[in-house]
């Protein structure tokens, strides 16, 4: 009886993200770096471009949860039978990030067509790169801006780093990426009417041996506290599915 009580007490104090004493592994979009750890410190996190992480899951990487910056990756893996049903948990917006000294004298997105500027964007295969191309097409300035692109990064953190270090005059990033580098950068707003819908989804990986802990992690992200942490980090909050 005492042993059973002890086991029950241990189960109560273990984090929801731990199963059998081992933390779950969460594959998450680079733009979620920092915020997920504030929701739950328990898991092992692997942050990268959503497309890279999706490929790794397809190849059998030992992930328990996948959180992507676009439904494209989660829905594809769901249709292929690799994920449980995904749920939308956050939204975001695009901005233009420039160094605090603003050497390119950029005051609006149309300035990015000026010859000689160095612009960094995401690779077309990752969500930030896809969203960037969508907004440039909507604004009708894709050709002019792409002429100034000097680097296409595999995740949004690469863009942020180059702008913050002054290696680029501007970069397209998510609104939530600006806060951690606010002392070294400035933001240029983009027209609301041209913004693409940016929706984050997460799901439990079907092959996870820690399904119970993985589901508990998803519940933490969707909880009132999890949504408060997301909102404080600058993310939007979609209506939760019932």
Q: Which residues contact 115 (CB under 8 A, 6 or more apart)?
A: 147, 148
Q: Report pLDDT for 104.
A: 96
On whether the CB atoms of residues 104 and 141 are closer than 8 A, the answer is no
Q: Report pLDDT for 14.
A: 47
On whether the CB atoms of residues 128 and 159 are closer than 8 A, the answer is yes
Query: Which residues in the chain land under pLDDT 50?
Result: 1-14
Among 3.50.50.60, 3.50.40.10, 3.40.190.10, 3.40.50.170, name the CATH number for the domain at 94-194. 3.40.190.10
How confident is the model over 209-232, as pLDDT tens digits? 999 999 999 999 999 999 999 999
Q: Report pLDDT for 240.
A: 85
Q: Report pLDDT for 19.
A: 58
Q: Which fold, 2-91+199-232?
A: D-Maltodextrin-Binding Protein; domain 2 (3.40.190)
**Residues of CATH 3.40.190.10 domain(s) within the chain?**
2-91+199-232, 94-194
- Report the length, in residues, of the chain: 242
Q: Report pLDDT for 228.
A: 98
Q: Report pLDDT for 75.
A: 97
């Amino acid at each position: 009886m005492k042993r059973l009580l002890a086991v029950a007490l241990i189960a109560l104090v273990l984090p929801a993200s731990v199963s059998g004493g081992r933390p779950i592994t969460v594959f998450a979009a680079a733009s979620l770096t920092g915020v997920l750890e504030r929701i739950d410190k328990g898991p092992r996190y692997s942050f990268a471009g959503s497309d890279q992480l999706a490929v790794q899951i397809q190849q059998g990487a030992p992930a328990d949860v996948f959180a992507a910056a676009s439904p494209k990756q989660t829905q594809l893996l769901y249709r292929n039978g690799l994920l449980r049903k995904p749920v939308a948990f956050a939204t975001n917006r695009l901005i233009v990030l420039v160094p605090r000294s603003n050497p390119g004298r950029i005051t609006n997105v149309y300035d990015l067509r000026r010859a000689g500027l160095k612009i960094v964007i995401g690779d077309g295969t990752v969500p930030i790169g896809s969203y960037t191309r969508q907004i440039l097409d909507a604004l009708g300035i894709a050709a002019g801006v792409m002429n100034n692109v000097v680097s296409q990064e595999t995740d949004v953190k690469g863009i942020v780093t180059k702008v913050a270090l002054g290696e680029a005059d501007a970069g397209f990033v998510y609104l939530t990426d600006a806060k951690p580098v606010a002392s070294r950068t400035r933001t240029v707003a983009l027209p609301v009417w041209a913004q693409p819908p940016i929706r984050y989804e997460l799901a439990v990986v079907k092959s996870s041996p820690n399904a119970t802990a993985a589901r508990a992690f998803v519940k933490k992200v969707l909880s009132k506290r999890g949504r408060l942490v997301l909102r404080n980090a600058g993310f939007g909050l979609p209506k939760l599915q019932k």
